[in-house]
Amino acid sequence: MLNFSYYNPARIVFGAGTIKEVGVLASAYGKKVLFHYGGGSIKKNGVYDQVIHSLKESGLEIIELPGAVPNPRLALVKEGIEVCKREKIDFILAVGGGSAIDSAKAISFGAKLRDGEDIWEDYYMRGDYNIREAIPLGVVLTIPAAGSESSTGSVITDWDKNLKRAVNSETIIPKFAIMDPETNYSLPAYQTGCGISDILAHLFERYFTTEKHNDLSDRLLESAMRNIIAYGPLALKHPSDYRYRAEIMWTGTIAHNNLLDQGRVGDWASHDIEHEISGIYDLAHGAGLSIVFPAWMKYVYKKHIDRFVQFATRVWDVDLTYDDKETMVEVAIEKLENFYKSIGMPIRLSDVNIGDENIRQMAENAFLGRTKLGSFETFNADDVEKILRLAL
């Protein structure tokens, strides 16, 4: 187990009817709120009205910035930064899923950069940034998936360059996250499936580590995996059942608040490879992950057979004879693929009509702005190409 320092001061306010608390929570940080959200969905499901009502009731001044989209855009971030500076915003409220939150996080620290600093070149495209300061940020989460509501991360796409990159810092952990599972009832099945896939991926990235003797984290991760595997299909079958939506939503936070990966280094190669796919094709992140993970597992498992046998037995209940470990793991990967199918996710690039036309390009793009990819197993562009070909 590696030494670690863990700190997560996000307040989680969870449950039916909790959105009405947003005004009181936000008013601790000032008077002028940038209300950042996506498109029409929060207007259709009533969340927009609830938020506006609560903010006004607390006497807050609201500046709206709609337009956050999946794979959030650098251009909108830059617009938000200008609004914050011009309007002297005290607090940013992101309402939606990972896209709105990640975009809001970028705005929150982008508005505090020094003159001459560029948020994209000096932060997202570098490894050695240090985010010193940010406008305080809160969240009303309506799509469980990214885990960004209490995470250190923000992922942004520069569509001029087809590049998707992340930053991480304690400074941009939201001050609070309001999570009402009832807001998920109206999510389309595909979006629910993508969220489930993303949550599972966050657990996988932390689970596949070369660090030994960190069994508590292993067990907690396995538990969270089992929970999402059990309740994901039920949430899809019964979209307005509070119990199942609540299980998914809370697991999504636990999967990514970093508590479950202390004392180890996660992998994140599959995330980075997926970012190259959705950076070109604008595929939903969760749908890209269900394509990449089985291919990644097939590419790496033989070198890490014991870890994959643990995964097969503890997560997938594979109890074939241990003297044929490779078969055990292959059965587990097949179970994973069947799980993805059961939640309506693609498992091959061909399932989403992507061929091999950009494979080399994606493999090479993955190394722009970074020199290595992966930790559990470290790759060069040829490896990434091979993994993408396994996913065809």
215 touches a second copy (CB under 8 A):
yes
227 binds a second copy (CB under 8 A): yes
Q: How far is the CB of 289 from a second copy (least distance, A)?
A: 21
Q: What single DSSP character describes residue 164?
A: E
CB of 174 to a second copy, least distance (A): 12
* By the rule CB under 8 A, 231 interacts with a second copy: yes
Spatial distance between the Cα atoms of 84 and 372, rounded to a whole number of angstroms: 35
**All residues at 6 or more sequence positions from 117 whose CB lies less than 8 Å from its CB, including other chains:** 123
**Is 306 an interacting residue with respect to a second copy (CB under 8 A)?**
no
With binding defined as CB under 8 A, does residue 369 bind a second copy? no
The sheet carrying 91-96 orders its strands as: 61-65, 32-37, 91-96, 137-141, 176-179
Question: Cα–Cα distance between 18 and 230 in angstroms, integer?
Answer: 26
265 binds a second copy (CB under 8 A): no
Among 8, 327, 350, 378, binds a second copy (CB under 8 A): 8
Interstrand relation of 91-96 and 32-37 (parallel, antiparallel or unpaired): parallel
Question: Which among 335, 303, 75, 343 is positioned nearest to 197, based on CA atoms?
Answer: 343
Q: Does 159 bind a second copy (CB under 8 A)?
A: no
Interaction residues for a second copy, span 16-45 (CB under 8 A):
16-18
Q: Assess 5 for contact with a second copy (CB under 8 A).
A: yes
Structure tokens at 315: 């997560």
Structural tokens at position 144: 């469980």
Q: Which of 121, 123, 135 is nearest to 83 (CA)?
A: 135
Using rule CB under 8 A, residue 132 touches a second copy = no
Whose CA is closest to 288, among 345, 244, 231, 367?
Answer: 345
Is residue 74 helix, strand or coil? helix
Q: Which stretch binds a second copy (CB under 8 A): 54-62, 72-80, 242-250, 278-286?
A: 242-250
- Exactly one of 131, 143, 246, 391 binds a second copy (CB under 8 A); that residue is 246
Sole window of 8-16, 51-59, 86-94, 381-389 interacting with a second copy (rule: CB under 8 A): 8-16
- Candidates 189, 230, 368, 392; binder of a second copy (CB under 8 A) is 230
Instruction: Enumerate binding residues for a second copy (CB under 8 A).
Output: 1-18, 213, 215-216, 219-220, 222-224, 226-227, 230-231, 242-243, 246-247, 250-251, 254, 259, 262-263
